[in-house]
Amino acid sequence: MTPNTDTVVRSTQPEDTEKWLPMRLALWPETDESQHRKEMAMMCSDPKRYGVFVCEDGQGTLVGFAEVSLREWAEGCESSPVGYLEGWFVEPTNQRQGVGARLVQAAEDWAQSRGCTEMASDTNLGNQVSEAAHLKLGFQVAAEVIAFRKTLAPR
Ligand SMILES: CC(C)(COP(=O)(O)OP(=O)(O)OC[C@H]1O[C@@H](n2cnc3c(N)ncnc32)[C@H](O)[C@@H]1OP(=O)(O)O)[C@@H](O)C(=O)NCCC(=O)NCCS
């Protein structure tokens, strides 16, 4: 890993919204913009429960983000609350430069400062890059699950 020293990792500010949004859309394209905006506003309005960190390059461009929350429970964890990595993204051209690791470190520091002794996360089955990155940063596989859903017929 070649650390990129021109970048800074910091908490998100209200003026970051329009730069944070396209990164969220890239990570979760199945979610529409209005829903993203609702979720972002919800996180920003509840700083006791949510932390959002961004990485900014020397030109003021945001190149990655990490979202962390406090969850009462997480798979495989023994403590409560648990720091949960809700979202983690680095722009493709900025990957493999240590940005992702620094964002996770900021998320872990946030959780630890709120009394957490464990951190948890998840990824889709088959996201090998995410799995490799989690393992490299000290996470262990706690469970492999398949999520199901169905629409209930109106009665
Ligand atoms: C996962 C992600 C955030 C990692 O960001 P990053 O800035 O590249 O991470 P780092 O440079 O800090 O890499 C940390 C370690 O992860 C592993 N890693 C990262 N990318 C990898 C890849 N493409 N292949 C294999 N291992 C990889 C490496 O072990 C790396 O350490 P090294 O470079 O010293 O070998 C980034 O790849 C990404 O945004 N992916 C698309 C979105 C995504 O899948 N997010 C996670 C959803 S849970």
User: Would you say the CB of residue 84 lies under 6 angstroms from ligand 1?
Assistant: no
Q: Which domain holds residue 17?
A: 8-136
* Residue 4's pLDDT band (cuts 50, 70, 90): low
Total number of domains constituting the chain: 1
In a domain, 145, yes or no: no
Tokens 């406090």 -> residue = 70
pLDDT averaged over every residue in the chain: 96
Number of neighbouring beta carbons within 10 Å of residue 84:
23
In a domain, 21, yes or no: yes
In a domain, 153, yes or no: no
User: Would you say the CB of residue 87 lies under 6 angstroms from ligand 1?
Assistant: no
In a domain, 123, yes or no: yes
* Residue 5's pLDDT band (cuts 50, 70, 90): low
Q: How high is the pLDDT of residue 6?
A: 87
In a domain, 67, yes or no: yes
Q: How high is the pLDDT of residue 3?
A: 54
Domain of residue 76, CATH code? 3.40.630.30
In a domain, 92, yes or no: yes
In a domain, 146, yes or no: no
- The 8 Å CB, 24+ separation contacts for 60-64 are 61/19, 62/16, 62/19, 62/20, 62/23, 63/7, 63/90, 63/91, 63/93, 63/94, 63/99, 64/23, 64/89, 64/90, 64/91, 64/94, 64/99, 64/100, 64/103
Model confidence pLDDT, tens digit, residues 97-115? 999 999 999 999 999 999 9
Q: Calculate how far, in angstroms, residue 134's C-alpha sits from the geometric centre of ligand 1.
A: 8
In a domain, 144, yes or no: no
Does the pLDDT of residue 94 top 90, yes or no? yes
The predicted model gives 63-67 an average pLDDT of: 98
Q: Calculate how far, in angstroms, residue 154's C-alpha sits from the geometric centre of ligand 1.
A: 44
